[in-house]
Structure 1
């Protein structure tokens, strides 16, 4: 098999792939097409990283993907450290397996640069980031602290500086886990932090593989473009890595090159897709620069992502985002973008979600069209 770096090969030119084939393939790889019996660490490992900006979101995200999932299964995985929570893709909170964190965090950190520190530039001006990191590491060695406790310790070490800015700078520089009780279902309050090397009981990778990142991304999100990989990971200039690997290349309806692992098959475009409810910020919606494989129109996307830091909870009908849902006083409200072909199926799945959310007695499901 030729590598895709041979730009004149027929293998490089690829074959066209329809939008519906792309959708069904993506759903299958996101564990949203079939009921697959996996443990929580196995599912998180397959997905590489599960969005956890909102505390309860990964619970809902795994519930919609794993048959028989319960809150206790994810809580147990966080407590036994087989799954951990920390700043990963795009600098945002994600769950990943403890084993994957060891290579994923160093790889992402190396490509992060100073991104995310601009808001604190004035507060830390004149200080060396390495000095802040060293002071934080010394304070955290062998213990878990809340973020305010870490900020207080750094404020004492660097008097006259805004302590919370110092804590954010330390979190940017260091590999930190947010251990339980942070990240537990319905748990709010101060975020806890611990050194990843302490929490995981060993060092992180000194030579993380970008090729491994590509393989894992394509296994859960492919086929995908180089721009898609960047949108998902936050890492730039990954095209040379893609071109150096033995990958299959397809083309979408616009002629864009979609990379994929050669051993993986495409899904049948005529497969039925069940109704699925996704939490806010779910990576099924965020994992591509072009979200057309799961969101049908720009107008729909504007409702789902109305601002830079807002990604609303959604639901899928026939494999595509068909509307949003939210918790209102006395109701789980489901709002469809347009008339639903099978409103009863949406209502039935919403009732399952209602039970999982453990909302107060008397809460009802309301389904309407915008």
Structure 2
């Protein structure tokens, strides 16, 4: 059946709905813990981004709030979706990791030449015992495994251990204002619980994904999760969901009572760090990245810190001595420039990186 005009969501409608779910239309009064749970994790390839992600989304957020959650083991850093490090609540880590395990197993297969003669079951058990004695660096894990398989490729052994086991980065790594090597132990050892043998079903995760990133297509969620074959779950849930079409005719699913604000709702400027999931969790990213700016939020394979203007990618920013430098992708009014400067200066003060100024110019590299 063809979609009626009302069931078609334009780019701005999708943008405002997504920003609302992402707590970016106005800052939320949620706690840091509740926000990490609502967002189903924060991309955390680097140490600081999760803190900046929460600052952009929460009223009154200060880095110490997330730091304490990490030290108390209520929040953890580990490899989950898309084989990248995410900051999750401990509860969600116990749920999400088993759901993406099949993808991590396939990843090991890409390194099979370097693992010739290696029994993966034995490798997993040996690595588990080693890291559960005390947290270890990846170099130490690799050396331990090379003792048993000296002819194996060292990198392949590291990848196998990282993929086969639910390894978390223990504190002080990841705690704001502190430093430390990446040391790893199993999720079970760190939080004192084991992943459920029958983890929460994918249907429940679909509903939570839509709550944080919807309206969305099946391919959108597959992009976010880094897994495939989710169509069956969406079809099971269809009676509980509402559907729309985007302007290209792609079917979008959503929760019936989820917010879908007016497309003309104001969206304030927001400074987001590199690898923010807002820009990584849909197959079609035009809801937040204008086609003419595609690729400008990255330099090679390195994501850049981005500035959202009127809800869309509008520039990039970089920190430096005495403040941040902003490179805008298009001209803005003086009033908008003042809003951007005020937001950036408030961010620097709140994150303890200031006082500092926002400069408008060109960012090299």
Aligned to 1:198, the other structure's residue is in SS state helix
Query: Residue 349 of structure 2 aligns with which residue?
Result: 355
Deviation (angstroms), 1:117: 5.8
> Aligned match of 1:220 in 209, 212, 215?
212
When residues 356 and 175 of structure 1 are mapped into structure 2, their CA distance, relative to the original with a 3 A threshold, is: same
Deviation (angstroms), 1:286: 0.6
Equivalent residues in 2 for 1:270-285, closer than 5 Å: 270-285=264-279
Q: Is the 8 A contact 1:148 1:190 kept in 2?
A: no
TM-score (normalizing by structure 1) = 0.90
Deviation (angstroms), 1:225: 0.7
Deviation (angstroms), 1:43: 0.3
> Aligned match of 1:131 in 113, 118, 122?
122
1:22 matches 2:11: no
Deviation (angstroms), 1:199: 1.2
Query: Residue 155 of structure 1 aligns with which residue?
Result: 146
Aligned to 1:332, the other structure's residue is in SS state strand
Query: Residue 185 of structure 2 aligns with which residue?
Result: 194
Deviation (angstroms), 1:212: 1.2
Q: Deviations over 1:288-311 (max 9, x none)?
A: 0111111112x312111343x322
- Where does structure 1 lack aligned partners over 5 or more consecutive residues? 1-7
Deviation (angstroms), 1:214: 0.4
Q: Is the 8 A contact 2:3 2:244 kept in 1?
A: no
Query: Residue 324 of structure 1 aligns with which residue?
Result: 316
Deviation (angstroms), 1:264: 1.7
Aligned to 1:273, the other structure's residue is in SS state coil
Deviation (angstroms), 1:369: 6.8
Aligned to 2:340, the other structure's residue is in SS state helix
Q: Is the 8 A contact 2:243 2:251 kept in 1?
A: yes
Query: Residue 30 of structure 2 aligns with which residue?
Result: 38
Moved more, 133-142 or 73-82: 133-142
Aligned to 1:114, the other structure's residue is in SS state helix
TM-score (normalizing by structure 2) = 0.91
Query: Residue 159 of structure 2 aligns with which residue?
Result: 168
Aligned to 2:107, the other structure's residue is in SS state coil
When residues 347 and 139 of structure 1 are mapped into structure 2, their CA distance, relative to the original with a 3 A threshold, is: same
What is the count of residue pairs matched by the alignment? 358
Aligned to 2:302, the other structure's residue is in SS state coil
The whole-number CA distance in structure 1 between the counterparts of 2:269 and 2:287 is 16
Equivalent residues in 2 for 1:139-150, closer than 5 Å: 139-150=130-141
1:303 matches 2:309: no
Query: Residue 251 of structure 1 aligns with which residue?
Result: 245
Deviation (angstroms), 1:9: 10
Query: Residue 330 of structure 2 aligns with which residue?
Result: 338
> Aligned match of 2:361 in 340, 359, 368?
368
- Where does structure 2 lack aligned partners over 5 or more consecutive residues? none
Q: Is the 8 A contact 1:337 1:369 kept in 2?
A: no
Q: Is the 8 A contact 2:242 2:255 kept in 1?
A: yes
The whole-number CA distance in structure 1 between the counterparts of 2:33 and 2:114 is 39
Deviation (angstroms), 1:116: 5.9
Query: Residue 281 of structure 2 aligns with which residue?
Result: 287
The whole-number CA distance in structure 2 between the counterparts of 1:64 and 1:75 is 16
Root mean square deviation, CA, Å? 2.3
Q: Is the 8 A contact 1:312 1:324 kept in 2?
A: yes
Deviation (angstroms), 1:80: 0.8
Q: Is the 8 A contact 1:181 1:192 kept in 2?
A: no
Deviation (angstroms), 1:14: 7.9
The whole-number CA distance in structure 2 between the counterparts of 1:47 and 1:261 is 15
Q: Deviations over 1:119-144 (max 9, x none)?
A: x4443222122221111011122532
